[in-house]
Every structure is written in C-alpha cells, then in structure tokens.
Structure 1
Amino acid sequence: MEMQLLDYYKAIEAKSADMLQAAQSHDWDAVVDCEKACGVLINELRVQAEQNVLSVLERKEKTRIMQRILRNDAQIRILAEPWLAQLDHLGKVPASVMH
C-alpha cells in the first residue's frame, strides 16, 4: 500500500512519540535510533510534498500533528539536557543530536 502525504506526518508523529518514550526511559540509544528513523521519514516527506498537495482538511490535520510533534520535541529536549551536558563534558556529543 502506497503511503499518502498525510501518512508521512502521522508516521513522523508516531516515531516522535517513540522517541519521547525512550527519553523518558533514559534509553538514549533508542532516542538516537528514533531520530534517525525520523530523518528518513522527513526526507521522504519532502519528496512526496513536492509531488502532492494536501486538501484543506488534511492541512488542518497536518497542523495538529505538527503541534504534537513540537510538544514531544520540547519534552525530549528537556529530558535530554542533562544527558547532553554529560556527553558534552566528556567531549562525546553525537553530531546527529546537536542539529
């Protein structure tokens, strides 16, 4: 089954929720893995967005999805700050995390 444009946003949201859950569990390897998966989905979303247009209702849903993703991201960052500070102190901050 071919994914529709809105499906990519939903998949990114789901992976964002997985990333938040991993951060809440202090499973930083899983956070990094989820971040990589999000990157793949975002790249595919960009390709699909050039070829497809969302309807008015889909754009409203996209906005709701993006707001949830941003809330997840903010919570992840709060949880990750102590971990990132510790890694920075050790000189080992992964480049993928500091984008």
Structure 2
Amino acid sequence: MSRMLIDYYKAIEDSSAKMLEAAQAQDWEGVVRYEGACAVLIEQLRHRAQTVELLEEERVEKARIMRRILENDARIRDLAEPWVQYLDGQMNGARTLLH
C-alpha cells in the first residue's frame, strides 16, 4: 500500500515536469492544465497518506521526488515572472483607461 503513495509522488513529479516543459514553450494554458492535474493528485495523495506510512527507503525516494518538484516549481516561476509582469502592466493599463 505504501508503494501506491510513492506512485502518487511520481505522478505529481511527472505533472510538474510537464508544467516546466509547457512553461519553457510559453504554453501558459498547458501550465494551467498540468497544474490542475497536480492539484487533483495532491488531494488524492493527502487522502491516502492519512492511513499509510512510508518505509525508510520510500521516505528517501519521497525526499528526492519532492526536491525535484520544488526545483521544477522554482524554474517555472522564473519563466513565468516576465509573463506575470506583462499581465500586471496590461491590467494596470486597462484600469487607467477605465477611470
């Protein structure tokens, strides 16, 4: 049963990698799509993790997977920052025109 938890972590890691690939291609709709998949997997993982404990080697694997997910997240944020600033500028311009 604990192996199933690791499978959830791996699936989240895979979705995270796909989010990064989409961000590198500036496919922001793809990023949002994979982010949604991650959210579903995380919720499922939370539910399953309440009743299952990982073995020592699985905790080590989980830590490796979590580091990779966090690295992907940081890279996605770096790629998204110019796009977010552009959107902020567009929104501020629209607000100025409305006033």
TM-score normalised by the shorter chain: which range applies? 0.7 to 0.9
Output aligned runs, 1:1-99, within 5 Å: 4-91=4-91
Query: Taking structure 2 as the reference length, what is the TM-score of the superposition?
Result: 0.87
Shift, 1:51, TM fit: 1.3
RMSD: 1.4
- Long gaps (5+) in structure 1: 92-99
The structure number with the bigger radius of gyration is: 2
Query: Taking structure 1 as the reference length, what is the TM-score of the superposition?
Result: 0.87
- Residue 44 of structure 1 aligns to a residue whose secondary structure is helix
Taking the aligned partners of 2:54 and 2:41, their CA distance within structure 1 comes to 17
Supply the AA of the counterpart residue of 1:39: A
- Long gaps (5+) in structure 2: 92-99
Percent identity between the two aligned chains: 57
- Residue 4 of structure 1 aligns to a residue whose secondary structure is helix
Taking the aligned partners of 1:88 and 1:51, their CA distance within structure 2 comes to 43
Higher helix share: 2
Q: How many residues align?
A: 90
Taking the aligned partners of 2:24 and 2:49, their CA distance within structure 1 comes to 32
- Residue 54 of structure 2 aligns to a residue whose secondary structure is coil
Shift, 1:89, TM fit: 2.1
Taking the aligned partners of 1:62 and 1:47, their CA distance within structure 2 comes to 17
